[in-house]
Structure 1
């Protein structure tokens, strides 16, 4: 086992380290975190408006009164993400971030049709459709933001700027310095949009959605790709690397887009199109005690093991684990680089992810609605909030029972070793 782990780590860890330090993945992660407080507010509004014990009339009234809480946050998530990409990418090149963010956002809007077709087939101009600012526009927004910020920062770095004399207020000087790079960058996007609209009678939103976003989200929503992602989260954590940060940097654009699609369907009273979404990944992995869903492991250590070492680790790790913080267990037991628990650490989340996918696909348990739940909300409560159903919490209880069954024999072996070690020292 140790030889296998060593050989596997030699091949994969350098790649994971490079991914973790990749400029663009770090910018993408930071951009989504910039939008996190805003989307969280929108999620709470959606949860409140659709509490399970409210009647349909009450939900309708609350939607009319408070619906803008979601429309102005989660429904236009792409706006915040594009600004964040421009801001953080510019800062990574030591260029003023605010102007980079504004230019990226403007570039994305230049590519966005200011028309929409009503259900009656009538074209209305001068309006922005919410779906193009949310789920449907996510990938074109990210692509436009990265390209715009790259062009903008390269122009600034080449010194193609208007320099104001000393004594001019910094805000004014910065605005003039950004003028030429912004004009050139936005002119390029305007010409691209004109070419696509004029020669092909379409828009880049629809092209990117059909050619890139739709296939990628279809792939990312499937069980095989999800299990691969879960495996790498667990595998990287085993070596002390933050698996969530590395894997989520790649997968978050897909999972967040799928979550927005679910949320739009949920608001419209339609069937939810996706099982795998960001809330699915958070609620049914991290949301049950931290990475690896280890709350049940902590409980087993604290109350069902005999060695003093295991009991103390379990009891010390219990309070943080309730709020899905499991670093005390990861580094205290430790789980990191502990070959004796490598198998349950890897296998248990794969089993529960497969089980949950099958249960939701069969409509036995509800699918997460797309609302983003804070990862520190305790288990059961977060399951109920994510699915707007008590059954979402029940599924987590079943998951923890499955995880406990997988872990228990390995924990007993560790416990036996600890007891033997103590008896030998005595």
Structure 2
């Protein structure tokens, strides 16, 4: 339960996705056992009225604050595509609705992100950065600790943040992270648009 371990776990889950492996399922033995156990301990502390001794990386930490739209913070990518991805409208339609329930596979394999040298970078970077932000926000007492051992993984983003700690600060942190993920994705969406435009121009010559 440290900042380093939080970033490492998040990194490994997402780097596996970029080569076509289901990182979330591979990490399931850890996320479904250790994190749920620590989340249960946090819940017991909350029930007892404790003000300290809470674990930071616990329970629904990842579901509430990192998996916003699914692995890779895909909802952030969807919003970035809406802002700057004129050539990706079909992917917005295909991946947007599922991302509201944290289903990221249509984008991961449809865009694709797997083995895509442009989108692989923000797909890994956004969750790692937001996992670090979330850890520090909770560790410094800016956000209430996670007290839910497990929320349904299909809980929509921001609502999941609130459910994770039962406090408005959880929703605020999730919303903040979503904005950060959009900012991270935007330059890569713009770069992809430029490359697509160049390819179209060359094809028409």
What SS does the aligned partner of 2:86 have?
Answer: coil
Structure ranking higher in helix proportion: 1
TM-score by length of 1: 0.46
CA contact (8 A) 2:37 2:149 kept: no
**Cα deviation, residue 313, structure 1:** 0.7
- Between the aligned partners of 2:191 and 2:184, the Cα distance in structure 1 is 13
- Show the counterpart of 1:257: 37
What SS does the aligned partner of 2:73 have?
Answer: coil
- Show the counterpart of 1:360: 138
Cα offsets for 1:325-354 (capped at 9, x unmatched)? 011100111001111222212221111111
The reply on whether 1:232 has 2:12 as its aligned counterpart is yes
Cα offsets for 1:110-169 (capped at 9, x unmatched)? xxxxxxxxxxxxxxxxxxxxxxxxxxxxxxxxxxxxxxxxxxxxxxxxxxxxxxxxxxxx
What SS does the aligned partner of 1:315 have?
Answer: helix
User: For structure 1, which segment, 389-398 or 248-257, has the greater mean C-alpha deviation from structure 2 after superposition?
Assistant: 248-257
**Cα deviation, residue 248, structure 1:** 2.3
TM-score by length of 2: 0.93
**Cα deviation, residue 390, structure 1:** 1.6
What SS does the aligned partner of 1:376 have?
Answer: coil
Select 2:105's aligned residue among 311, 327, 332: 327
What SS does the aligned partner of 1:226 have?
Answer: helix
**Cα deviation, residue 251, structure 1:** 4.5
The reply on whether 1:300 has 2:80 as its aligned counterpart is yes
CA contact (8 A) 2:60 2:164 kept: yes
- Between the aligned partners of 1:261 and 1:250, the Cα distance in structure 2 is 16
**Cα deviation, residue 311, structure 1:** 1.9
CA contact (8 A) 2:59 2:147 kept: no
**Cα deviation, residue 388, structure 1:** 0.8
- Between the aligned partners of 1:240 and 1:350, the Cα distance in structure 2 is 19
The reply on whether 1:349 has 2:127 as its aligned counterpart is yes
User: Which of the two has higher C-alpha Rg?
Assistant: 1
- Structure 1, unaligned stretches of length 5 or more? 1-220
Once the two structures are superposed, the pairs formed by residues 19-30 of structure 1 within 5 Å of their partners are none
Distance 1:251-1:379 versus aligned 2 partners, 3 A rule? closer
- Between the aligned partners of 1:330 and 1:320, the Cα distance in structure 2 is 12
The reply on whether 1:386 has 2:154 as its aligned counterpart is no
Cα offsets for 1:260-317 (capped at 9, x unmatched)? 100101111112511111311221122x10001110101221343222xx12112221
- Show the counterpart of 1:369: 147
